[in-house]
Structure 1
Amino acid sequence: MVIARMVAGAGSALAMLTLSGCGMLWSCTDTTAERGEAGVRVDIVDESGRSVGVTAEVTGWRREPHPQVPADGDQIHFQIRFEGAGQGGEPAVDACAVDDKRVVLGCQTIHSLMDFGREGTYTGDEYLAVDRPERVDEVLLIPNDQSVHDRRTCEDDIKDGGGVHPPDMPSPGERL
């Protein structure tokens, strides 16, 4: 009888630990959102592929030295516009310089909050350093929102990590 009560009590204690988040096994899973189609003008999407209500567009670009580090040689100086920003979320996109076959030469994340303009439309310019600026044929934007600040993974935090994460920034040599 005493053993039966101990077994029943142990089962209740295990159930309470599990329900309180102290269980030994977590069902933490990490997934990565599918990378959207790169373009000069994109509708920014969240991790589930839904539009965030902001459009980003590269409005022009040229090769020239950065004025603060001209000794570094040519970089890609491009202009970007975010329309619909400033209404809650401040999305960010990866901008990539590509060659004529859409092979990535270099990328960086551009945050709409960094650019200035009237409410709802932010415009600005950025410099992108690439190894071979003379090969750049176009500057493309990846539509996936990169502004997510809390990117804890299961490896970082098995209890609170996990979920769908934005795709990684394209690496040089990848084709868009």
Structure 2
Amino acid sequence: MFSTRGLAGAPLALAFLALSGCSSSWGSWGCTDTTAERGAAGVRVQVEDTDGRPLGVTAEVVGWRLEPHPQVPSEGDRVHFHFRFDRADGITEPAVDACAVDEERVALGCQTVHWYEAFGRDGDLTGDGWLAVEHPEQVAAVLLIPNDQSSLDRRTCEQDLKDGGGRHPPEPATVGDEL
């Protein structure tokens, strides 16, 4: 026979176990991961945080051309592009994906460019990069994706249940993504 007196304490004991972290579903209550939507790519973009809010920094492709990379000219043409970060102050430290695209805006090659790769003064920082693409003759433009990628390596719930989680930037753009 079961004692009603013994059952009366059961809800309290279960609540204690759940609050102490002994419950198997505790992690889903305290830690969640979400991924931001990829913003619209453009030649000039306002860099935005994971919630889609502007950081006050503009990133822009100021020019590009096809030419052999000086260190490996035998590999043929690559996309040599120049970019600028306006109003980057070293506090926000933004990074955006730069992609060579074809006429349909399909990515042919991408890489992340960081504000600290650019040089200048008064918050106007200019730099350059090289993109290796399989068919350089198909490149129609170089576009930037506005999502700040500088926090891409933030801890996830799977990596660190206690300190991980939150909103993360979208995955970096790859060859074949339509921008």
TM-score after normalising by structure 2: 0.86
Contact 2:58 2:87 in 1 (8 A): yes
Match of 2:94 in 1: 91
**Judging changes above 3 Å, is the alpha-carbon distance between structure 1 residues 118 and 23 closer, same or farther for their aligned structure 2 residues?**
farther
Match of 1:169 in 2: 172
SS in 2 for 1:117: strand
Q: Does 1:115 align with 2:118?
A: yes
1:175 aligned partner, one-letter code: E
Q: 2: distance between equivalents of 1:85 and 1:15? A: 45
Shift of 1:116: 0.7
Match of 2:59 in 1: 56
Shift of 1:15: 6.1
Shift of 1:48: 0.2
Is there any run of 5+ residues in structure 1 with no aligned partner, and where?
A: none
Q: Number of residue pairs matched? A: 173
Match of 1:125 in 2: 128
Q: 2: distance between equivalents of 1:160 and 1:23? A: 18
Is there any run of 5+ residues in structure 2 with no aligned partner, and where?
A: none
Q: 1: distance between equivalents of 2:148 and 2:20? A: 37
SS in 2 for 1:97: strand
2:118 aligned partner, one-letter code: D
1:160 aligned partner, one-letter code: D
Q: How does 1:142-157 map to 2 (within 5 A)?
A: 142-148=145-151, 150-157=153-160
Shift of 1:8: 8.6
2:138 aligned partner, one-letter code: R
Q: Does 1:73 align with 2:80?
A: no
Pairwise CA RMSD of aligned residues?
Answer: 2.2
Please, which moves more after superposition, 144-153 or 132-141? 144-153
Q: 2: distance between equivalents of 1:139 and 1:83? A: 18
